[in-house]
Structure 1
Amino acid sequence: MSESGNGKLGLIAGNGRFPFLLLEAARSHGLTVVVAAIKEETDLEINDLAALDPGVRVHWLSLGELSKLIETFQEEGVSRAVMAGQVKHKQIFSSIRPDWRLAKLLLNLRTRNTDMLLGAVAKVLSDEGIELISSTAYLEPLLAKPGVLTSRHPDEQELADIEYGRKVALGIAGFDLGQTVVVAAQACVAIEAMEGTDATIARAGEIFRTLEAESSTLARRLTVIKVAKPRQDMRFDVPVIGLKTIQTMIAAGATCLSIEAGRTLVFDQIAIVAAANAANITISVTSV
């Protein structure tokens, strides 16, 4: 990965560990990182890093302050930026008040899905001299590799659920509705929309507990399938799994996780695999 011409990288930070991992990787390349921390999403711990490292500068702004984001990066001399960390889709429709620039952008959108919105933001940034680069920049070693990560391989039923679930997941991802489906015995239990992956898995677990109470004959095992979009823009909304994903699966009673090679970031792989093995969960990485 080539470095920014002026040695600076802008980081638009959402929630979770993603921004911290990217920040660490960018600093290891000697880059000064200018963080645009989103008040509604970013962990306050980012302030601690800035206090300890003069190469990290943090500016806090609201999700609706697109003009302030641009002004901050321009004042800091940032010409390349990256988005890292989740911004909950429901925030788009929350009570957050957009500034004039974001309001104009929203009014001109044909649809308010993730790709359309973030693509439009990227275009505005580009017009202002700020190139938005791949969110996997500096983190290529964390992209999933083909194979089975765990000691247990998927069994015949889980393989059938993966095959069926991938067809469904790719379908909904193609419409930019979500990237995750939860399947049991080749039947869809839950499909992701605005709530995010962990909430989708948790909802599937709740549905199954209801089915068990009603003595359903549906197989009592859940398979989670997470995919990238058919035309995934690697600048934003790249699929990510972390330890919390496995913990949520354990709570929901899920036994199998399917992700895609080269298009899914795996955070804390050692901890993920250890937790999955301890719970007899299998993690399968499919080549695409």
Structure 2
Amino acid sequence: MNSLAIIAGNRDFPILVARQARGEGVQTILGIGFSGITSPELSQAVDRMVWMGLGQLGKMKKILKDAGIRELVMAGQIPHRLTLRSLKFDLEGLKFFKAIKEKNARTLLGGLVLELEREGFQFLDSTQFLTQSLVKKGVLTSKKPTQNQYQDLSYGWKVAKVLADLEAGQTVVVKSGVLIALEGLEGTDEAILRGGALAGKGTTVVKVARSRQDMRYDIPVVGLETLQVLQKIKSAVLGLEAGKTLLLDQEEFFERAHKMGLIVVGMVPPPPADP
């Protein structure tokens, strides 16, 4: 692969993709960022950085065509709440947005993938350059869950899967068999904080992918920022779907998790029940 365009959301995910792509020999990297969302630091990891507002689909197409880049990757979250207040449409973007009746991550981002692929572009999996950062199965820390915490993980998994498949969120907070908080429009970190405010310390947080997750967009991602939130509320357990969740900055993440006594578990779907 000679060239790559990164459609960049927030935090460090796009930067890590750019660095790893460069390390794997990609010669030309274009960054497409959104004002107020994408980290300006991405510009230091790419050959060219272009900024635009959310909703400028026509501008995005023109930039990509003029650059002659056909392979694209989405990295980083676009907070869904911004679809209510931070859109700056051009004509193509407005037409695209109005055509979508139920506006959620799957319809908006999945629709963007289909729209650009019709123009001859190809989207890579978001994990293409960071497969080593995918969460592995099993208990990932030296400290293991108690029986009650395993029960909370199982309960959290069931609820979070329904939540994700409804396109409502990816994260739930559970404590002692009680469902405390569900992620909504506010996002993962705010949902965790709300759970901590309601239940106090010792919560179990579970984050999962959709049952039919398209790995090209909106995959679950956890990093040091979320770890800080877990530390703030003194959470006890973090359950992440193995194989579909990216855990960034893993060495530092697990060092900090160990110091704060956080248990981290890579979860997989339970085996089907006997007929």
1:26 matches 2:21: yes
Measured in 1, the distance between the counterparts of 2:139 and 2:226 equals: 17
Contact 2:19 2:45 in 1 (8 A): no
1:227 to 198, 208, 216: 208
Deviations 1:13-71 (A, max 9, x none): 11111000100111112211111111121111123334xxxxx2111111121111111
Measured in 1, the distance between the counterparts of 2:104 and 2:128 equals: 24
Residues 37-186 of structure 1: matches in 2 within 5 Å?
37-50=33-46, 56-186=47-177
Measured in 2, the distance between the counterparts of 1:173 and 1:245 equals: 18
Measured in 1, the distance between the counterparts of 2:129 and 2:202 equals: 37
Deviation, structure 1 residue 113: 0.9
Deviations 1:68-92 (A, max 9, x none): 1111011000111000011100011
Instruction: Give the unaligned 5+ runs of structure 2.
Output: 270-275
Measured in 2, the distance between the counterparts of 1:119 and 1:96 equals: 18
- DSSP-derived class of the 1:254 partner: coil
Counterpart for residue 3 of structure 2: 8
1:238 to 211, 219, 230: 219
What is the count of residue pairs matched by the alignment?
268
Counterpart for residue 273 of structure 2: none
Deviation, structure 1 residue 199: 1.1
1:207 matches 2:198: yes
Measured in 2, the distance between the counterparts of 1:107 and 1:14 equals: 22
Measured in 1, the distance between the counterparts of 2:132 and 2:88 equals: 38
- DSSP-derived class of the 1:16 partner: coil
1:198 to 172, 179, 189: 189
TM-score by length of 2: 0.94
Contact 2:15 2:41 in 1 (8 A): no
- DSSP-derived class of the 2:236 partner: strand
Contact 1:40 1:63 in 2 (8 A): no
1:274 matches 2:255: yes
Q: Percent identity?
A: 36
Deviation, structure 1 residue 186: 1.3
Contact 2:175 2:199 in 1 (8 A): no
Moved over 4 A (4+): none
Instruction: Give the unaligned 5+ runs of structure 1.
Output: 51-55, 210-219
| Partner amino acid, structure 2, of 1:223 | T
Counterpart for residue 272 of structure 2: none
Deviations 1:219-262 (A, max 9, x none): x5200000001110101111111112221111112100001111
| Partner amino acid, structure 2, of 1:180 | T
